């Protein structure tokens, strides 16, 4: 395959992804970010010779085969569509769309430009334990899959100024407005891949426990976690979080079938526990097995050096394989799975605001579903053009950080 020219839109996370595409032999040819310092830092890290842009309209004219969308979390879809219109392949950070209407627009664009590869850059399914759960579930030894759990649980120290400086550096930043259900792909993506299922109905509840004390805080969401349940297209059930913040930090997954179950053990690295019942275990196997899974991959040396437990490298590789083979990526990386994940996040939040009311996840291959949602632009975030949110981000819609917390935040970071 010829050397692919890749452009990076968003110089924070975008620079991490760019480094992985370099490891895979691609050329990073252009980078776009209107935040000059972040852009310069990325170029310093990635090497000279990368053309810099501050605005997307000029950047999109650069000669590129593919673009990495790592701009603000809730604003990926319009830029993905602009790339598709120009025949540029898209590697979109999670989530794929910030509103239901954008989900419709993204699917319509993907249907109009089928030769452009669109991939959701969701990396957690490629973590070593999630690859193992996928391998075991697909082998059939667990029987029919009935239930799976996905927890992306990322509590943060409220006094960690460096984290806030890097990740929530202005008051209207999306991380200060994110509802607990929205950062869903790290919990949902791995179980969708392991089981092959897609959510059909969703319901959710949140746990409200605002940050206390004299700490810098501008978050408008006082919820610590949301627990989301889905009934899926194959009859199975998921119990997942968006981004939760309870107990000890972990990424934990579990897949249960009629004959057995597999999970990674919380707080024990990549350790896997595979269990059967005495009457259902495969011949010659133990009822309970605990082990560290192996990569079994020719690129292991590069994988172990890459971010997020090697999953960043592997996810970039999935994208390049799709381009090489001239096909869309598999479930759950393709546009339909990506939009189903975003719909689950958005409608779980509505469910949570309405005391757990169930919502049906639309199937945007069907015109009647497209019509129902094509004008649904409700969003809990500020947009880059200054448009304010029109729905609350918290289960207690009147919640605000304390005056003292806001004062401390403004002293450190300004508006
Ligand atoms: N998969 C993972 O493990 C992982 C990890 C971190 C972040 N992410 C995702 O990556 C994306 C980016 O994350 P981040 O932490 O870098 O976010 P961020 O908000 O810190 O950075 C976004 C960058 O995009 C730039 N930007 C936004 N809109 C722009 C525009 N219109 N023109 C020019 N520049 C623009 C901003 O200046 C900023 O530098 C998010 O969607 C996030 O969810 C994924």
Instruction: Copy the structure tokens of residue 67.
Output: 């673009």
Position 407 scores a pLDDT of 97
Buried-exposed string 387-411: b where 16+ CB fall within 10 A, e elsewhere: eebeebbbbeeebebeeebeebbee
pLDDT for 214-230, tens place per residue? 999 999 999 999 999 99
Average pLDDT, stretch 234-254?
97
53-72 mean pLDDT: 98
Segment 35-46 shows an average pLDDT of 96
72 lines ligand 1 (CB under 6 A): yes
- The band of 69, judged by pLDDT with boundaries at 50, 70 and 90, is very high
Q: What would the mean pLDDT of 32-40 be, rounded to a whole number?
A: 97
Q: Is the pLDDT of residue 21 over 90?
A: yes
- Whether the predicted pLDDT of 1 surpasses 80: no
- What is the per-residue DSSP string for 39-96? HHHHHHHH-S-PEEESSHHHHTTS--SEEEE-S-TT--HHHHHHHHHTT-EEEEPSPS
What whole-number percentage of the chain has pLDDT above 90?
Answer: 98
Is the four-CA dihedral 319, 325, 329, 330 of positive or negative sign?
negative
Residue nearest to atom 13 of ligand 1 (CA): 13
State which ligand 1 atom lies nearest to the alpha carbon of 71: 24
Q: What is the mean pLDDT of the chain?
A: 97
- Give the pLDDT confidence score for residue 48 in this predicted structure: 85
What domains lie within the chain, and their CATH numbers?
5-123+316-325 (3.40.50.720), 124-299+335-373 (3.30.360.10)
- Each residue's pLDDT tens digit, 102-123: 999 999 999 999 999 999 999 9
Q: Is 369 in the pocket of ligand 1 (CB under 6 A)?
A: no
User: Coil, strand, or helix at residue 396?
Assistant: coil
Give the whole-angstrom CA distance, residue 201 versus residue 357: 10
Distance 75 CA to ligand 1 centre (A): 9
Over residues 269-285, mean pLDDT: 96
* pLDDT reported for residue 292: 98
pLDDT higher than 90, residue 315: yes
Confidence of residue 414 (pLDDT cuts 50, 70, 90): confident
Closest C-alpha residue for ligand 1 atom 22: 71
* Shortest-distance Cα residue to atom 11 of ligand 1: 70
Task: Extract the tokens encoding 169.
Answer: 């550096």
């Amino acid at each position: 395959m010829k050397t692919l020219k890749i452009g990076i839109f968003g110089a924070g996370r975008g620079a991490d992804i760019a480094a992985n595409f370099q490891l895979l032999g691609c050329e990073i040819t252009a980078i776009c970010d209107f935040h000059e310092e972040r852009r310069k830092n990325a170029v310093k890290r990635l090497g000279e010779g990368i053309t810099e842009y501050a605005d997307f309209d000029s950047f999109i004219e650069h000669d590129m085969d593919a673009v990495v969308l790592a701009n603000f979390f809730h604003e990926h879809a319009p830029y993905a569509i602009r790339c598709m219109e120009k025949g540029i392949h898209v590697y979109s950070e999670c989530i794929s769309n910030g509103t239901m209407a954008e989900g419709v627009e993204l699917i319509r664009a993907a249907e109009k430009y089928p030769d452009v590869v669109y991939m959701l850059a969701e990396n957690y399914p490629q973590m070593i334990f999630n690859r193992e759960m996928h391998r075991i579930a697909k082998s059939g030894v667990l029987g029919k899959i009935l239930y799976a759990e996905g927890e992306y649980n990322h509590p943060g120290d409220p006094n960690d100024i460096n984290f806030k400086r890097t990740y929530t550096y202005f008051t209207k930043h999306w991380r200060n407005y994110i509802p607990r259900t929205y950062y869903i792909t790290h919990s949902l993506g791995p179980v969708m891949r392991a089981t092959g299922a897609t959510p059909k109905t969703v319901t959710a509840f949140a746990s409200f426990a605002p940050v206390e004390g004299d700490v810098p805080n501008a978050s408008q969401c006082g919820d610590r976690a949301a627990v989301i349940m889905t009934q899926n297209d194959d009859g199975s059930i998921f119990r997942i979080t968006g981004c939760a913040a309870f107990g000890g930090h972990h990424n934990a997954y579990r897949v249960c079938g009629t004959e057995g179950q597999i999970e990674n053990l919380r707080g024990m690295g990549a350790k896997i526990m595979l269990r059967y019942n005495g009457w259902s275990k495969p011949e010659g196997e133990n009822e309970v097995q605990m082990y560290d899974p192996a990569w079994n991959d020719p690129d292991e040396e590069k994988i172990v050096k890459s971010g997020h437990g090697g999953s960043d490298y592997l996810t970039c590789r999935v994208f390049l394989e799709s381009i090489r083979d001239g096909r869309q990526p598999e479930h759950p990386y393709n546009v339909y799975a990506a939009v189903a994940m975003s719909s689950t996040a958005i409608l779980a939040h509505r469910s949570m605001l309405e005391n757990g009311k169930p919502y049906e996840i639309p199937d945007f291959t069907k015109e009647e579903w497209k019509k129902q949602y094509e004008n649904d632009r409700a969003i809990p975030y500020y947009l880059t053009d200054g448009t304010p949110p029109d729905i609350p981000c918290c289960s207690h819609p009147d919640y605000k950080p304390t005056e003292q917390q806001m004062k401390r935040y403004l002293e450190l970071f300004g508006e």
